[in-house]
C-alpha cells in the first residue's frame, strides 16, 4: 500500500502533519508539491495524473483552505467521496475514518467507499514529524480556470498570530476597542501576538486577521491566554492546538474553563494589568 500527500511546502507545519498522518496508515509515503500560480482545478488535474500513474491507496492533504479545496477538486474529477478534517484513518474496503465535526465539538466515525481514499487532516490532530519524505515537484497546466493573479500581504507588526509561541486574546468581556490596550501590553511583555474572538471582530474592535477560531486563524502556541472569552465551540476549534490554555473570566461557569489548564476567575481589567505589573517587576522593565 502507498499514500500520496499533497504538501503546500516541504517545511509547512500542517503539511508535515499530513505526512506524519500518512505514515500512521502503515503505507509507503510519497509527497508532491505544485509549483506555479495557484489554480485549484489545474492543480487537481496534476494530482489526478499522479494518482493514475502510481495508484496510491490514499491521497492526503493538510486540512487548510487550499488542501481542502484541492482534494475536493480531485474528488470531483475522480467521482469519489472525500473526508475532511480527519484525526485518524484505517485503509480497507471500505476505509474507516474519524473526523472532526461541528467545530471540534464531536468526532464522527465513518466508512468511506471507493479507492483511493481521499482525505484532509484536521490541523494539529498529529504532531509534525521530522523524518524525510520523497517530495516530487509538479507543474500544473494552465487551463484557464480560476487562479490567483495577485497576493496582498497582511500588514502586521511583530510576531504573526499563526507563528506566535504566546497568544493573548480578548473576547466580548474586554468591553471595547480601547480595552485591548491591556491585552496588547501583556502580549508585548511576553513577546507574543494579540488575538480575539469572533464577537470582537463583529463589533469592529479588531480586524478579522486577529480572529482565532473556526472561521479565523487556527493557532498552536505554547500558551494561549484567553481573556473575557466564554469558550464557544467555534472559538475553541481555533485554539485547540495550544499546548497550554490559561482562561481569565469572571464567570466561574464559563465553558472555556472545561478546557483550561490554568483558570483565573476574576475581572480581566484587574487581572491582566496585575500580571503585566508582575512581569515588569520580575524583568526590571
Domain shared by 83 and 177, yes or no: no
Question: What is the Rg, in whole angstroms, of the alpha carbon atoms belonging to the chain?
Answer: 21
The tens place of each residue's pLDDT in the chain, 285 residues long, gives: 899 999 999 888 999 999 999 999 988 999 999 988 888 889 999 999 999 999 999 999 999 989 999 999 999 999 999 999 999 999 999 999 999 887 666 789 999 999 999 999 998 888 888 777 888 898 877 665 666 677 766 655 668 898 899 999 999 999 999 999 999 999 999 999 999 999 999 999 999 999 999 888 889 999 999 999 999 988 998 898 899 999 999 999 999 999 999 999 999 999 999 999 999 999 886
pLDDT the model gives residue 153 = 65
Is 150 a domain residue? Answer: no
CATH of the domain at 9: 3.40.50.620
What percent helix, strand, coil does the chain show, rounded to 5? 30, 25, 40
Is 30 a domain residue? Answer: yes
Q: What is the C-alpha to C-alpha distance for residues 114 and 280, in angstroms, rounded to an integer?
A: 59
Domain shared by 9 and 99, yes or no: yes
Which of 99, 123, 139 lies at the terminal end of a domain, its last residue? 139
Q: How many CA atoms lie within 13 A of 215 on its CB side?
A: 10
pLDDT the model gives residue 210 = 95
Question: How open is the CA angle 158-163-166, to the nearest 5 degrees?
Answer: 75
Domain shared by 94 and 202, yes or no: no
Query: pTM higher than 0.75, yes or no?
Result: no
Domain shared by 13 and 135, yes or no: yes
Number of domain units in the chain? 2
Question: What's the grid cell of residue 284?
Answer: 526590571
Amino acid at each position: 500500500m502507498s499514500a500520496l500527500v499533497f504538501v503546500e511546502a516541504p517545511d509547512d507545519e500542517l503539511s508535515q502533519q499530513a505526512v506524519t498522518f500518512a505514515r500512521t496508515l502503515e503505507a509507503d509515503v510519497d509527497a508532491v508539491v505544485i509549483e506555479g500560480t495557484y489554480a485549484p482545478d489545474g492543480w487537481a488535474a496534476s494530482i489526478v495524473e499522479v494518482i493514475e500513474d502510481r495508484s496510491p491507496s490514499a491521497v492526503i492533504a493538510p486540512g487548510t483552505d487550499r488542501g481542502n479545496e484541492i482534494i475536493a477538486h480531485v474528488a470531483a474529477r475522480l467521482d469519489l467521496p472525500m473526508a475532511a478534517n480527519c484525526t485518524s484513518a484505517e485503509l480497507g474496503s471500505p476505509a474507516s475514518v474519524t473526523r472532526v465535526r461541528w467545530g471540534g465539538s464531536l468526532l464522527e466515525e465513518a466508512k468511506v467507499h471507493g479507492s483511493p481514499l481521499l482525505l484532509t487532516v484536521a490541523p494539529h490532530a498529529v504532531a509534525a514529524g521530522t523524518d524525510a519524505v520523497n517530495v516530487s515537484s509538479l507543474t500544473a497546466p494552465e487551463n484557464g480556470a480560476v487562479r490567483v493573479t495577485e497576493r496582498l500581504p497582511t500588514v502586521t507588526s511583530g510576531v504573526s498570530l499563526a507563528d506566535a509561541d504566546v497568544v493573548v486574546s480578548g473576547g466580548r468581556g474586554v468591553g471595547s476597542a480601547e480595552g485591548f490596550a491591556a491585552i496588547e501590553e501583556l502580549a508585548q511583555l511576553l513577546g507574543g501576538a494579540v488575538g480575539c474572538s469572533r464577537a470582537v471582530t463583529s463589533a469592529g474592535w479588531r480586524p478579522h486577521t486577529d480572529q482565532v477560531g473556526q472561521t479565523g486563524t487556527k493557532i498552536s502556541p505554547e500558551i494561549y491566554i484567553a481573556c473575557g472569552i466564554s469558550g464557544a465551540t467555534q472559538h475553541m476549534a481555533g485554539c485547540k492546538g495550544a499546548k497550554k490554555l490559561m482562561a481569565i473570566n469572571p464567570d466561574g461557569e464559563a465553558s472555556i474553563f472545561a478546557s483550561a489548564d490554568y483558570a483565573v476567575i476574576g475581572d480581566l481589567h484587574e487581572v491582566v494589568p496585575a500580571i503585566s505589573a508582575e512581569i515588569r517587576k520580575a524583568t526590571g522593565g
